[in-house]
Amino acid sequence: MSYTTQMNAARKGIVTGAMETVAKKENMPLETLMGRMAEGTVVIPSNKNHVNIDPEGVGEGLRTKINVNLGISKDCCNLDVEMEKVRTAVEMKAEAIMDLSCFGKTQEFRNRVIAECPAMIGTVPMYDAVGFYDKNLKDITVDEFFKVVERHAQDGVDFATIHAGLNRITAEKIKRNDRLTGIVSRGGSLLYTWMMLNDAENPFYENFDRLLEICTKYDLTLSLGDGCRPGSINDSTDAVQVEELITLGELTKRAWEQDVQVMIEGPGHMAIDEIAGNMMMEKRLCHGAPFYVLGPLVTDVAPGYDHITSAIGGAIAAANGADFLCYVTPAEHLRLPTLDDMKEGIIATRIAAHAADIAKKIPGARNWDNAMSKARADLDWEAMFSLSMDPEKARKYRESSKPEFEDSCTMCGKMCAVRNMKRVHEGKDIQLND
């Protein structure tokens, strides 16, 4: 039997190599995985042309995955630097890489990433359109927009962010609602501008079936972008955001009718007390489709520390149903991230994802923590380093301040609770004074 997409295969009862890989990684029965894929609550983004991918699943009952954004811009266009980021992100166990390049030789960089990288690859084709055609945004035609999408799919991109939900109805709400930060999505703002300049409907909304044909041809997973995501906590959960989300839910059902895999993208900036409700609303309005969130950032006043504000929101979001976290770095709102910025963002987001997996009771999630606790109780420093999310940093901290006694640290010395409990249980004497 043949199949067109991973969803189509699941619905036909065909076991693909990608399904076998994901089921093994997740310790999930194949039948359970395939059932959720058939329903649309789990996706395996795996383009037919991304031949060296190591597939990952995103969705219900699976580990929370993280995505790393990178790519070239006009001000920072060193392809080799960005490729180093790609390699480092994979080494640091990021499951997805999004190439957000918006200047110059975007296809050259994209093809290098796809050829080398085993992680899921995502893009936003809208970013590429202006540079690809070297013409004013207003003058790009509908056909040209779709040619860029197909080029990305043909190159092997596994999931593409398409802001198809920002239609003319939503655009009118933007005009009538007093947002502090308006539209902060780059792709959403470009589409909105094109719509206003041409007095036209969003081409991806108006020609959604054409988009689905491309997705089916290459098994491109559709990541329905939130062009109206809130860019400040003031703008969260407003009529504009909710209107677009309702439309995304409608488009999700249309995609599923064609066996196209779908993820939904979400906020953004949002106060802590709104996060759980937003996760429930998305799952309800979008019929359980996997939810992919940027943050949410829980406060707007910490530039330079937004990896922390994002990790706080991401942990809460994922614990309440979000399936995929887009990392945020300390450079958010300030500059293109450096390699070190990227590392900090990855660790912060992995902490959020893992903390959420414990809360969601993902099978095996606590085992890692239990192993670390055992190593701490045994004062086994080498085991602690090997189990650390960032072994290099843990070892560096330990070595930077050596204690008098190896079975303690310079925080507590001979008064270390773990050291003394261990010694007394071993029948050893405890001398706290020299």
Binding site as annotated, residues: 69, 98, 127, 163, 185-187, 226-229, 265, 269, 292, 333, 409, 412, 416
**For residues 401 and 393, what is the distance between their CA atoms, to the nearest angstrom?**
13
Annotated binding site for [4Fe-4S] cluster: 409, 412, 416
Q: Are strands 221-224 and 159-162 parallel, antiparallel or unpaired?
A: parallel
* 43 strand-pairing partners: 58
Radius of gyration, CA atoms only, the chain: 23
Backbone angles phi, psi at 119, to 5 degrees: -75, 165
Annotated binding site for Zn(2+): 269, 333
Residues ≥6 apart with Cβ < 8 Å to 62:
22, 26, 28, 42, 323, 362
Backbone angles phi, psi at 99, to 5 degrees: -85, 105
The tokens for 423 are 């010694």
The 3-state secondary structure of 179-230 reads: CCCCCCCHHHHHHHHHHHHHCCCCHHHHCHHHHHHHHHHHCCEEEECCCCCC
Classify burial at 415, counting beta carbons within 10 Å of its beta carbon; exposed 0-12, middle 13-18, buried 19 or more.
exposed
Q: b/e per residue, 390-402, with b = 16+ CB within 10 A? A: beeebbeeeeeee
Annotated binding site for substrate: 69, 98, 127, 163, 185-187, 226-229, 265, 292
Q: Residue 18's CB: how many other CB atoms inside 10 A?
A: 20
